[in-house]
Structure 1
Amino acid sequence: MRVALTLAVLIFGTSASAQVDPLAPLPAAPPQPVVQQAAQPVAASSATSSQMGFAAYKQRLSSLARSAGVREATIQSVIPYLSLNSSAIRLDRAQPGQINNPNATPPFAPYRRKHVTSDLIRRGAAKYREHYSRLMQIEQRMGVPASVILGIYGKETSYGRITGNFDVPDVLASLAYEGRRRDLFESEFVAALKLIDLGYSRSRLRGSWAGAMGYPQFMPSVVLRLRADGDGDGYADIWRSEDDAFASIGNYLRDAGWKAGMLWGVPVRVPSGFNRAAVRNPVTSTECPRVHARHSRPMTMAQWRALGVVPVSRSHRETDMATLIEPDGPGETAYLVTDNYRAILKYNCSNFYALSVLLLADGIIGR
């Protein structure tokens, strides 16, 4: 997982007065003051000394939570009872380097065979039929195709089969204490406490070893900001309501810049002898530069056609801007991808991830 990455439990409020509009913007959290003498990354030589250091680190977490406006009752009900989760730390340290390093680029085809399977397509098509009416409402409301929403759902949790069973406050606190990405995990820990403030029990906050929760695998801060009610009951429950999860995924992608009515891209054939140096992108992306380095400079679909880059199938708007990506290298199927493809990269910044989600989405509707 990466926290662009993938992305909690929603049943906001326990009484009418506690309920909020699931789509209303939340007030910005107050700025967190710099806390002096932050704990250092874990370097203890024994489990006992690690536990002692973690016990002291809880004081910092309490201070951060108070500064962010978390209720004292929530702080006292959670932080004293946190446990250091060594499994989460071990799994985090074992994560491989960034996918799609341009200096070592494995082919996409083996990944595609594993992650865009006939079983995933079949079960996604069944979900499409089962939730068709509600999905069409969400598609119209969010401007994101239902098939793409299901592609995310299938990719993230195999349509709800695998959502994780780690205690999220524990793993976020443990990863913050470990220290490699302290700012990230401390802010997510505070966001998890804010969910409890809103009425979610700690027992509901279960997820991946990195803190991603629910059907969409949202981090706590994303739940707070982009949860959405999809079934019309006034709540946004991404753990137990698939329709709420669909609406929340759609809301996430809309927020990430998805443009209604635009294709994510088209498979294309690149002519033999094509001058790739002439279309190299001279701009280095500030986000996931190694991932975006595999993309050409943007040109209109019409300009690509004039260079002999011909769509294999599907119609498209000649004026849409697109970049070229060749995930299996020259001579194999390539793709012209639009800004909607880049919205998927906001969910998880990996070309292989984005392509597999979108090809799964196409398969679900038989495209």
Structure 2
Amino acid sequence: MSVRFSRVLGILIALLAAPACADEARVSPEQQAAFAEWLNVYRAEATARGLKPEWLDATLAGVTLVPHVIGADRSQPGTAARPVRFPDYLAAKFRGDRVVHGQRQFAANRDLLAQAEAASGVPAAIIAAIWGIETSYGRVMGRHDLPSALATLAFEGRRRDLFTRELDAAVRIVGEGHASRAVMKGSWAGAFGQTQFLPSSYLSYGRDGDGDGRVDLWASQADVFASIGHYLAKSGWQAGEGWGFRTLPPEGFDRASVAATEPPSRCVAPLSRHSALKPAREWRALGFTPVNASWPADDVPMSLIEPDGAGQGAYLVTRSYRAILGYNCSNLYAMSVTLLADAISLPQPVAPLQVATTGAQ
């Protein structure tokens, strides 16, 4: 182990062990020096990758090491060490007025959502549900300084390549004039705006929905809806194909008989919980019953997913559902989006767990 690596490792351990208080008070001179050294290396390497020095100067101005971001990154829920049951996850996501306010926002933005649906093929309710789950309909977008959060995560090293790329993208956003340095605020994980896009997603999938010549994911609802729709379309949403529905498996059904024969190549852990894709007609012939829903066309591929295991709630989902996994690679997340979409498109409010257990459409 090199002397430099040992020193940085020791600093990171100290950061994680520090008590939860103001970040500035917890960063020692040695930690600041190590971070400054890393920033110098990053600047040199980013310039070699084609980022202009003036872009780097503008974006990295005022960047600081943020220790609590490291702690947040290392304590994510839903891992093998911290499993989360779907009803508990759903109750947390639907806490407060997420459904009732969502119905109001769905109605108030009906025309803009319809435009985004027409352009992308993604249902308006799904676009609105992503908006609702990500930022509670634009009310909670995060207040972290994005360059500082991204630089901290790249410096920390657990996912260095990912966050170095995202910091590069943030530099490009500011440097190319897509957004000012002052508005670059978001979550501790580097996501921002009402869509909670990472910087690279902004550059790849951001869309100008209001025709003003720029993509403003902080303040333009038209841009927000157009960008979410475009993202899901590019992630595989099938126009005219719903996400699926809650289902009742036949009694004594042998789940091994529909197990996937090949491991997934992306979003591995969540998709490993899915059965093989089979045409809807085959699931119907096997005796599966939709709950408050209708079967899609006979040839629509669907897979069986039971988030908490056999006998604890089953769903048949389509390729369009898998597109939501492209937004966030988590079955709990994707299922909460679909159920929120169903709930906010209903004329009357529905309780969160009622949505999960009745499969309201």
Match of 2:188 among 206, 209, 223: 209
Aligned match of 2:277: 298
Aligned match of 2:34: 53
TM-aligned CA distance change 1:322 to 1:223, over 3 Å? same
2:122 is the alignment partner of 1:144: yes
Deviation at 1:110, TM superposition (A): 2.5
SS of residue matched to 2:162: helix
For residues 221 and 73 of structure 2, what CA distance do their matches in structure 1 show? 28
For residues 70 and 347 of structure 1, what CA distance do their matches in structure 2 show? 27
**Correspondences of 1:181-196 after superposition (within 5 Å):** 181-196=159-174
Deviation at 1:105, TM superposition (A): 6.2
Aligned residue identity for 2:52: R
Q: Deviations over 1:47-102 (max 9, x none)?
A: 2222111111112211232123222212223436421111211211222453xx5x
For residues 101 and 205 of structure 2, what CA distance do their matches in structure 1 show? 26
TM-aligned CA distance change 1:51 to 1:117, over 3 Å? closer
Q: TM-score, normalised by structure 1?
A: 0.84
TM-aligned CA distance change 1:110 to 1:91, over 3 Å? closer
2:96 is the alignment partner of 1:129: no
Specify every segment of 5 or more residues in structure 2 that has no aligned partner in the other structure, as ranges. 15-26, 347-360
Specify every segment of 5 or more residues in structure 1 that has no aligned partner in the other structure, as ranges. 1-37
2:86 is the alignment partner of 1:108: yes
Match of 1:361 among 329, 341, 359: 341
In the alignment of these two chains, the number of paired residues is 328
Aligned residue identity for 1:94: S
- Greater share of helix residues, 1 or 2? 2
TM-aligned CA distance change 1:323 to 1:250, over 3 Å? same
SS of residue matched to 1:284: coil
TM-aligned CA distance change 1:330 to 1:182, over 3 Å? closer
SS of residue matched to 2:51: coil
Q: Is the 8 A contact 2:58 2:175 kept in 1?
A: no
For residues 344 and 221 of structure 1, what CA distance do their matches in structure 2 show? 18
SS of residue matched to 2:10: coil
Deviation at 1:225, TM superposition (A): 1.1
Aligned residue identity for 1:88: V
Q: Is the 8 A contact 1:39 1:177 kept in 2?
A: no
TM-aligned CA distance change 1:192 to 1:336, over 3 Å? same
TM-aligned CA distance change 1:328 to 1:183, over 3 Å? closer
2:301 is the alignment partner of 1:337: no
Deviation at 1:121, TM superposition (A): 1.8
Greater alpha carbon shift after TM alignment, 276-285 vs 41-50? 41-50
For residues 335 and 291 of structure 2, what CA distance do their matches in structure 1 show? 16
Match of 1:62 among 40, 43, 58: 43
TM-aligned CA distance change 1:52 to 1:69, over 3 Å? same
Aligned residue identity for 2:39: K
Match of 2:10 among 43, 47, 61: 43
Q: Deviations over 1:232-258 (max 9, x none)?
A: 322210011122111110111011011
Aligned match of 1:264: 243
Q: TM-score, normalised by structure 2?
A: 0.85
Deviation at 1:298, TM superposition (A): 1.1
Q: What percent identity do the matched residue pairs reach?
A: 42
Match of 1:283 among 262, 286, 291: 262
TM-aligned CA distance change 1:295 to 1:236, over 3 Å? same
Aligned match of 1:166: 144
2:290 is the alignment partner of 1:311: yes
Aligned residue identity for 1:187: R
SS of residue matched to 2:324: helix
TM-aligned CA distance change 1:105 to 1:76, over 3 Å? closer
TM-aligned CA distance change 1:97 to 1:332, over 3 Å? closer
Aligned match of 2:327: 347
Q: Is the 8 A contact 1:39 1:57 kept in 2?
A: no
2:218 is the alignment partner of 1:251: no
For residues 70 and 344 of structure 2, what CA distance do their matches in structure 1 show? 36
Deviation at 1:106, TM superposition (A): 4.8
For residues 104 and 90 of structure 1, what CA distance do their matches in structure 2 show? 15
Greater alpha carbon shift after TM alignment, 328-337 vs 48-57? 328-337
Q: Is the 8 A contact 1:42 1:177 kept in 2?
A: no
Higher relative contact order (CA 8 A, sep 6+): 1
For residues 10 and 96 of structure 2, what CA distance do their matches in structure 1 show? 46
For residues 175 and 9 of structure 2, what CA distance do their matches in structure 1 show? 29
Q: Is the 8 A contact 2:59 2:170 kept in 1?
A: no
Q: Is the 8 A contact 2:237 2:323 kept in 1?
A: yes
**Correspondences of 1:17-96 after superposition (within 5 Å):** 42-44=9-11, 45=14, 47-79=28-60, 81-96=62-77
